[in-house]
Structure formats: structure tokens, C-alpha cells
Amino acid sequence: MDFKTQYSFFLQQIENRILEVIPQSAPNELYEPFRYIMKEGGKRLRPVITLIGCGISGEDPLKALDSAVAIEILHNFTLVHDDIMDNSPLRRGRQTIHEKWNSAIAILTGDVMIGYAYKLLPSSTNHSRADEILSIFSKELIEVCEGQVFDMVFNEKKDVTIADYINMIDKKTARLIETSAVIGAHIGFGDSIEIDAMKNIAHNIGLAFQIQDDLLDMTANQADFGKKIGKDVVEGKKTYLILKAVELVNDTLDRQLIDKFMNNNGLDECEVIDMDNLFRKYRIYETAQCEIDKYFATAESFYPKLKKNMYTDMLKWLVSSINKRII
């Protein structure tokens, strides 16, 4: 199988279904922002993982298409509300919904998105595991909200630890990727061993993905990354890099820079280079990469518990592509 071609096929099916789902009717003030946020959805990793999970379990992946779209709508719902809370002007290089319209419209858009996501999940009349799938989806909605609260609280706390950070990204990032895989496996009637393996693979990918994002914020080529380098430092984000620096820094001048970051909730753009030098001095980039490699290796250790079929091979290809950030 040409996995890149299959990935593109899955993407097209997801995009087509998204367009079908969002109403073209009134009130346009509600559905135009819904279409707007869903139009530029990036790589659609989560719904693709849902389709792959279904295929690994032995069913036609497209049987999970509606659930995959539900996952993608849930993901974008979190972005709409996150942007309001963070007062972010841009998302994926475009105005955020609350900037293009207003906060009231953005809140209502997020609310209606959740409604449509639930509508896409299977009912008990067409899938014997519908109740379990609904429960998994609802649990994820709760946990992603918990993760966002932890993230907000971290903005004010000065004593955030690496363990706190892992707990936050666990709920805010990793669990949604895990939910994507597990729901796909349930749609495909996977057994408990397969579902547990998919859960562990996706969960570890999610943790690796977020730490990788933190690392790339400082080390990536800006054109390739699609974001301004050092944005997390300027915005005062307590990333893996910052928290590891808090653990390791022992020089007085270096500690002053960390303290300034913490006390001011970020640094000026001109000071990003100083933080970069500090990270290099304490080999924090290498430490972060080792942590990323650890999570990817843990994910890969669960491959033998999956069925040997082309979709398992596609998952391996996808994980490798995520690791190298080549899709």
C-alpha cells in the first residue's frame, strides 16, 4: 500500500464529510464561523487515526468516518474556546473567530460544534458498542476541559513541575489522540487486547507530540513550522523546556533570566535568543529530544499486539511521519 496516497484519500473523505455535515441554512452568523474554523483544519491527524484504528480491527475504515469527523469537530471546538480564553488574534495564520466576529459568536459556535459532534456518533440501533463509544467521547470532552483549566492555572503559578506539565498535556493533548484511536477500534469491533494497544500507542504519541511542539517552538525553521519561533517564551508558556530549565539552572545570571520569565509571564522578543543560549548551555534541547524518543519507543512497543494487516503498517508509517514531522 502507498501510505501517503491512502492518507490523502482519508483526508479527502474527511473533508467531504465535514462539508456535508455543516448546515448551509440560517442563522448564517452561527454556521459561517463553524465552516470557517473547519475549513483550514491542518493535517487531520486525529480523524485519520480513528479511521486507521477501525481498519486495524478488521473493518472498512470508512465505517468510522462519522465518528472521525466528530473527533475533529471536538478538537476544533477546543481551539475556538482556547482562543477566546487566550485572547489569541490568529489561528493557523487566519483571524480567530472571536476576532473576525466577536466573543459571543465564538462561544455559540463552539457550543453548536459539540452538538453536531454528538450527532455524528453511532446510535444503539446501528452499532452494538454505541453506548461505550458515547461514554468514551463524553469522558474526553470533560478531560480536555480539565486540561485547559490546568493550562490556565499554570499561567499564574510559579511552582509548576514537570509532573504537573505532563498531567496537563495528558488531558489537553494526549487523551484526545487516544480517544481517536480507541473509538476507531471500537467501531471496528476490536478486542480488548487491540483496544488496549491502540490506547497506549496513541497516548504516548500524544505526549511525544506536545513535547515535540515545545521543542520545535525554539528550534524549527520558522517557514516550515508555520509559527513564529520563540512564541512560547514571549507568551510565558510553561513548556517542557522552561520547566526542565527550572530544574537544572544553577548559575546566578541564568537563574535571573528564568525568574524574569516567571515573574513577567514571558520575555521580550529580543530576549528569546538569551533563553535559546540558556537551553543550549544546559543541553535542554537534547533532554527534551530524549523524552520525545522515550514516548515514541513506548508507543512502538505495543505494535506486536495489533493485527498484522495493511492498516497496522499504515499506523507505523504515520507514527514515524509524526516523529519526523514530515506530514
pLDDT in tens, 122-155: 999 999 999 999 999 999 999 999 999 999 999 8
The CATH superfamily assigned to 3-324 is: Farnesyl Diphosphate Synthase (1.10.600.10)
Question: Which sign, positive or negative, has the C-alpha torsion 205, 318, 142, 104?
Answer: positive
pLDDT confidence of residue 40: 74
Residue 167's identity, in one-letter code, is: N
pLDDT band at 232 (very low <50, low <70, confident <90, very high): very high
Reference 279, options 289, 265, 269, 270; nearest CA is 289
Instruction: Check residues 229 and 217 and name the one with the higher pLDDT.
Output: 217
The confidence score (pLDDT) of residue 79 equals: 94
Measured distance CA(39)–CA(37) in Å, rounded? 6
pLDDT-derived band at 225 (thresholds 50, 70, 90) equals very low
Per-residue pLDDT band for 88 (boundaries 50, 70, 90) equals confident
Three cell numbers written together for 157? 503559578
Handedness of CA 65, 66, 69, 71 (dihedral sign): negative
The pLDDT, as a whole number, for residue 226 is 52
CA torsion 284-289-292-297 (nearest 10°) is -140
pTM of the model: 0.95
Domain spans of the chain, in order of start: 3-324
Could you give the percent of the chain with pLDDT greater than 90?
A: 89
Taking residue 247's Cβ as centre, other Cβ atoms within 10 Å add up to 11
Dist. CA 201–CA 213, nearest whole Å: 18
Of the candidates 168, 161, 137, the residue with the CA atom closest to the CA atom of residue 74: 137
Is residue 221 very low, low, confident or very high in pLDDT (cuts 50, 70, 90)? confident
Q: What is the distance, to the nearest Å, from the Cα of residue 18 to the centroid of all Cα atoms in its chain?
A: 19
pLDDT attached to residue 227: 60
Above 70 in pLDDT, residue 224?
Answer: no
Cell numbers at 16, concatenated: 467531504
User: How far is 254 from 269, CA to CA, in rounded Å?
Assistant: 17
Q: How many CB atoms lie within 10 A of CB 306?
A: 22
pLDDT (tens digit per residue) in 286-315: 999 999 999 999 999 999 999 999 999 999
Look at residue 222 in the predicted model and tell me its pLDDT: 61
What is the per-residue pLDDT for 100? 96
What average pLDDT does the segment 70-88 reach?
A: 94
Q: What is the share, in percent, of the chain residues with pLDDT greater than 70? A: 98
- Provide the grid cell at 20: 456535508
Q: What is the pLDDT of residues 159-187, one digit of tens each?
A: 999 999 999 999 999 999 999 999 999 99
